[in-house]
Amino acid sequence: MVDLNGRVALVTGGGKGIGRGISSALAAAGAAVAVNYATDRPAAEGAVADIIGSGGRAVAVAGDVGSPDDVERLFEQANAALGPVDTLVNNAGIFSFQPFEDVTPSDFDRIYRTNVAGVFFTCQTFVKQLPAAGGSIVNISTSGISNHAPGSALYTSAKGALTTLTRVLANELGSRNIRVNAVAPGATDTDGARDLGLINDENVARAVATTPLGRLGHPHDIGQVVAFLVSQDAAWITGDVIFASGGLR
């Protein structure tokens, strides 16, 4: 059983989908969890209520990770409520799938502001307030960095940048006892994916047929991997990308 007692985690976009699965898994292992949201306050508060109802500690913290000023404030909120954050999960992100030639400059700016710049500046702020004992960062990538699906140029290139950032930071921050890893989920059944029409009969059949374990992932599947990676059980792992994808590459 992973033990995160005494740890304080911030999960960006932690109120729904994969983020909620991660928040729940960290809390179940004993961490106090700051559940970040940008706009969906009810979802974040629902995640917090579930954690508290199960005997854990959690708080909802507002902030758009694409805004450096918001990032500063959300760490201040988390620190005031739970103590210094020693575990960061960069889960907040925006989906965008379209033919390469249809990507507009505003599409590009929107995706890279949240999915790349947001992670970069959130990591910077995390390190500034991190206790001297060190901590752990997990960035949520995608199995698309391996299978290179048509129509995913914008989204997957942003996640590719995130993967490279993970490895650079692992090298740069290792001497300060900060471990940095990434998790690459495969096709995962979330409300957000359903709202975007990504979870439909055709796509599910294709995903199941190409996934060796023969099913879609669930947020809990990803949460368990993240909980392991930030724990002392994974103390010798940094700079790695773990595919939590049922074997899908």
- Positions marked active-site: 155
The neighbouring-strand residues paired with 183 are 140, 242
> Dihedral of CA 26/36/134/174: which sign?
positive
Q: Residues 147-159, buried b or exposed e (16+ Cβ, 10 A)?
A: eeeeebbbbbbbb
* CA–CA gap between residue 81 and residue 5 (Å, rounded): 16
| Angstrom distance (rounded) from CA 158 to CA 152 | 10
What secondary structure letter does DSSP report for 150? T
Q: How large is the C-alpha radius of gyration of the chain?
A: 17
Report which residue type is found at 17: G
Residue type, 183: V
Cβ partners under 8 Å of residue 168, min gap 6: none
